[in-house]
Chains A and B, each alone.
Chain A
Amino acid sequence: MNKTNLAVLAAVVLLPFVVRPAIASEIWIFAIFGLGLNLLMGYTGLLSFGQSTFFGSAAYVAGWLLKHYGINVFVALGVGVGVGAVSAALVGYLCVQRSGIYFIMLTFALNQLFYFIAYQWTSVTGGEDGMPGITRPEFLGIDFKDPLAYYLFVSALFLFSLWIMKRIVESPLGKILQAIRENEVRAEAVGYNAPRFKLLAFVIGGAFSGLAGVLYAMLFGIVPLEAIGFVTSGNVVFATLIGGSGSLYGPIIGSFVFIWLSESVSTLWARWPLLLGLAFVIVVMFLRGGVVEAWTRFWLWQSSRQKI
């Protein structure tokens, strides 16, 4: 196992000792969400500004089933992934024909549409109030209500997701997606049906988002309306950009940074979004590659110093 993966494993094991299990779980959930987005953004070059559509839809559907039909956790996960994938297929189908700014706007518009549907359908979603009362049913005697038990569950799923994503990006599919990102025309010329592959990327990304959505609903016991809102869509994009969209691990770092800022700093200063905005500006001006690039540059500078 290479060193990076070892580091990730170490993080998974050590994190609950440093922060509360609930925050630790949230970080990995957000990382799964980011991994899904990055397949689209970093690898295929598609800035999807509506990922919360899949995240939220999966959360609502799975949450509803958990609450009213008492399904078990694995069925819930399956539902989440399924809903995420299907909704992504729908949205993706409408979006992949477009590119550039049009694509971004359309994902945003469809996201808003889903948001307003969720907002209006109060009998099911609770509208503004959200959908509370989501259970964490026990399975085979494991009580997931215990924060640590749930954390183990979430982190295991995260590692699994990371492994799958790694396999995907290193596979021929991953290469094709990157080729499309680099030069779509050339990819088409070589014989790849770009829209179809983009749709596939969408569906996979949606599946990951859906998984994150279900885990989120079970973590907090509630599906808030924000889960399907554009702010959540924006958050995952920004977190991934900050971490560095050029790397498989970027979304993970981005998740850490983002959750850290929103949890810790917010208790210290109510105006913390100002710092977030500044962080964005700095990243864009100086650190396009995000934290990954910053660290790489620092390391290069260090090593070049040592040579002298």
Chain B
Amino acid sequence: MLYALMGLGLALIAGILNIPNFAHGALFAVGAYLMVSAIGAVGNFWVALLIAPLGVAILGLLIEYAGIRRLYAAGHDYQLLFTFGLSLILAEGIILIWGPVGISQLPPLLLRGGVDLGFTFYPKYRLFVMAVAGLLVVGTWLFLEKTRYGAIMRAGIENKEMVSLLGIDIHWLFTVAFALGAYLAGIAGALTAPIRGLSPGMGVDMLGIAFVVVALGGMGNILGAIAAGLLIGVAQAVVAAYWTEASTAVIYLVMAAVLVVRPQGLFGIR
């Protein structure tokens, strides 16, 4: 479910802004670290969960405004270089601020312990994360499908010129889209903090997976990204039950296989 969330955010950015956001993993990491600091500062998990992702969204806003905005015409090479450079800066920044040692964060008291599901004992917190991520994914999808702003965004993915011809400020659209994508990455990170623990490099693996989800789902296809995210998560769990070491490799194998046969991903339009 987290994969779907990350994929969704990246798909949004890729679709609307048409840039490969290599900093998406770093935004995920920043979300996790801000969450820990917020819990430390405010003392309440729930409040922190509210504010930490907003911090990442604001960061995203700034990044888009100050940097990415200038690069739309620059070509993928440079967008890649820029966002990658950004990811380095963010990762090293995390080390500078929070130190290179991993940090542990426990789930809130309400969600500790597990639930006996009959066939397996499953941690409550993980169920909570699945539920929240699911809500966010559905909520984002509803926003995009049912609201006017969402419609504008979807139109932006399809045809930017038309949207600006219709008098809508395309730059504002891009900024919001990026901030939204960053928000999703940030909240994914914040939710993950008690599960994986934090380390400065936590964004790197997530980035790879996010890219797989987006490529698999079809660039810019929101529903596709969601479906692909779920698919990947399930595939990984299934493979892990039989051949644990290969569970990460399988993700890339599936991606490569699908892209060779269907370059637009499972649900994309050419």
Contact = CB atoms under 8 A, between A and B. Distances in A.
B253 A113 contact: yes
B85 A280 contact: yes
A277 interface: yes
A280 B88 contact: yes
Interface string B3-35: 000000000001000101000000000000000
B113 to A, nearest CB: 35
B246 A120 contact: yes
Contacts of A112: 208, 252
A47 B76 contact: yes
Contact of B86 (A97, A109, A119, A281): A281
A94 interface: yes
Interface in A165-208: none
B235 interface: no
Interface stretch (B45-53, B54-62, B168-176, B257-265): B257-265
Contacts of A105: 20, 211, 214-215, 259
Interface string B240-270: 0000011011001101100110011000000
Interface stretch (B91-99, B132-140, B141-149): B91-99
Given A109-B256, A271-B95, A276-B85, A284 B74 contact: yes
Given A104-B76, A109-B212, A283 B89 contact: no
Interface in A253-306: 271, 273-274, 276-281, 283-285, 288
Contacts of A230: 208
B207 to A, nearest CB: 10
Interface in B74-91: 74, 76-82, 84-89, 91
A105 to B, nearest CB: 4
A101 interface: yes
B263 A97 contact: yes
B40 interface: no
A245 B260 contact: no
Task: Classify the interface of chain B: helix, strand, loop or mixed.
Answer: helix
B208 to A, nearest CB: 7
A284 B81 contact: yes
Given A102-B263, A106-B263, A280 B84 contact: yes
Contacts of B219: 101-102
A284 B92 CA distance: 19
Contact of B256 (A104, A110, A278, A284): A110
A238 B84 contact: yes
Given A245-B77, A284-B81, A274 B88 contact: yes
B85 A106 contact: no
Contacts of B237: none
A279 B92 CA distance: 14
A105 B260 CA distance: 11
Contacts of B79: 284
A108 B211 contact: yes
A98 interface: yes
Contacts of B96: 271, 274
A278 B84 CA distance: 10
A86 to B, nearest CB: 18
B208 A277 contact: no
A52 B259 CA distance: 20
B43 interface: no
B264 A281 contact: no
A277 B76 CA distance: 17
B72 to A, nearest CB: 12
B259 A234 contact: no
A153 interface: no
B92 A273 contact: yes
B75 to A, nearest CB: 9
A106 B82 contact: no
Contact of B259 (A102, A276, A280, A283): A102
A101 B78 CA distance: 13
A47 B86 CA distance: 19
Question: Residue among B81, B93, B253 with the most chain A CB within 10 A?
Answer: B81
A241 B77 contact: yes
Contacts of A100: 76
A41 interface: yes
Contact of A47 (B67, B80, B215): B80
A116 interface: yes
A281 B85 contact: yes
Interface in A17-68: 41, 47, 49
A281 B208 contact: no
Contacts of B253: 113, 116
For the complex of A and B, list the 6 residue pairs with the smallest distance between their C-beta atoms, beginning with the closest: A280-B85, A277-B88, A116-B249, A274-B92, A277-B89, A112-B252
7 contacts: A110-B256, A112-B208, A120-B246, A230-B208, A273-B91, A277-B88, A280-B81
Given A116-B246, A116-B248, A116-B252, 9 more contacts: A101-B219, A102-B219, A104-B76, A108-B211, A241-B81, A277-B92, A280-B85, A283-B81, A284-B81
